[in-house]
A and B are shown apart, each in its own frame.
Chain A
Amino acid sequence: MSEDSTNRSSVDQSTAEKPAVGLFVTCLVDLQRPSVGFAAVKLLELAGCSVEVPSAQTCCGQPAFNNGDFDTTAALARQTIAALESYDYVVVPSGSCAGTLKCHYPELLADDPDWAARARAFSAKVHELLSFLVDVRGFDVSSLGTQFDGTATYHDSCSGLRELGIKQQPRTLLAGVEGLSVAEMEETEVCCGFGGTFCVKYPEISGRLGSDKLKNAQQTGANILLGGDLGCLLNLSGRALREGIPMRMFHTAEVLAGMAERGIGEEAK
Chain B
Amino acid sequence: MKVRSPEFKVRAAAALFEPNLQKALLNAKAGFQGNRAKAIDLVPEWQQIRSDAKVMKDHTLENLDYYLLQYEESVVANGGKVHWAPTAADANRIITELCLAADAKLVVKGKSMVSEEVALNDALNAAGVETVETDLGEYIIQLADEPPSHIIAPAAHKTKEQVSELFEKAHGGPRIDDRVGLVTQARQVLREKFLSADIGITGANLFIASTGQHLLVTNEGNGDLCSSVPKMQIVITSIDKIVPTLEDAAATIRLLARSATGQHISNYTSLYGGPKAEDELDGPEQYHVVLVDNGRSTMLGNAFKDMLRCIRCGACMNHCPVYGNVGGHAYGWVYPGPMGSVLTPNMVGLEHTLDLPNACTMNGRCAEVCPMSIPLPDLLREHRRLQFQRGLGTKVSRAGLALWGSAALKPKLYQGLSRPAIQLMGFFGRKSGAYKKLPGLSGWTSQRDLPAPEGDTFMAQWKKQQKAKNS
Contacts and interface: CB of A to CB of B under 8 A. Distances in A.
Interface string B346-386: 00000000000011111111011000000000000101111
B433 A195 contact: no
Contacts of B282: none
A191 B321 contact: yes
A161 B343 CA distance: 27
A159 B405 contact: no
A29 B441 CA distance: 19
Interface in B138-195: none
A207 to B, nearest CB: 3
Interface in B201-252: none
Interface in B406-451: 407-409, 411-412, 414-415, 418, 422, 430-434, 441, 443-444, 446-451
A68 B384 contact: yes
Given A69-B401, A203-B443, A191 B389 contact: no
A266 interface: yes
A136 interface: no
B401 A238 contact: no
B447 A191 contact: no
A209 interface: yes
A140 to B, nearest CB: 27
Interface residues of B, number: 68
A38 B458 contact: yes
Contacts of B359: 198, 201-202, 205
A162 B388 contact: no
B444 A3 contact: no
Interface string A230-269: 0000110111011000000000000000000000111110
Contacts of B469: 1
A56 B410 CA distance: 8
Interface string A194-220: 111111111111111110100000000
B365 A238 contact: no
Given A242-B447, A268-B430, A205 B322 contact: yes
Contact of A204 (B13, B368, B444): B13
B361 A75 contact: no
Contacts of A34: 454, 456-458, 461
Given A207-B447, A242-B447, A58 B414 contact: yes
Interface in B326-348: 326
B433 A205 contact: no
Contacts of B415: 55, 58
Interface in B389-406: 389, 397, 401-402, 404-405
Contact of B431 (A53, A189, A197, A267): A267
Interface string B308-328: 000000000000011001100
B379 to A, nearest CB: 13
A125 to B, nearest CB: 20
A109 to B, nearest CB: 15
Contacts, number: 214
- Binding site secondary structure of chain B: helix
Contacts of A4: 463
Given A55-B463, A158-B361, A201-B443, A37 B384 contact: no
Interface in A1-54: 1-4, 25, 27, 29-35, 37-38, 53
B458 A69 contact: no
Contact of A159 (B364, B397, B459): B364
Contact of B326 (A72, A197, A198, A205): A205
B446 to A, nearest CB: 5
Nearest to B432: A267
A63 interface: yes
Interface in A96-118: none
A135 B330 CA distance: 43
Contacts of B449: 237-239, 241-242, 265
A162 B364 contact: yes
A193 B447 CA distance: 11
Interface in A61-98: 61, 63-70, 72, 75-76, 79
Given A191-B365, A205-B322, A207-B446, 17 more contacts: A33-B454, A55-B412, A58-B408, A61-B408, A66-B381, A68-B381, A159-B362, A162-B367, A162-B368, A197-B397, A198-B359, A200-B444, A203-B447, A206-B361, A238-B448, A239-B449, A241-B449
6 contacts: A32-B454, A53-B459, A210-B447, A235-B448, A237-B451, A238-B450
Interface of A: 1-4, 25, 27, 29-35, 37-38, 53, 55-59, 61, 63-70, 72, 75-76, 79, 158-159, 162-163, 189-191, 193-210, 212, 234-235, 237-239, 241-242, 264-268
7 closest residue pairs by CB, A with B: A195-B361, A200-B443, A68-B388, A238-B448, A207-B447, A68-B384, A265-B451
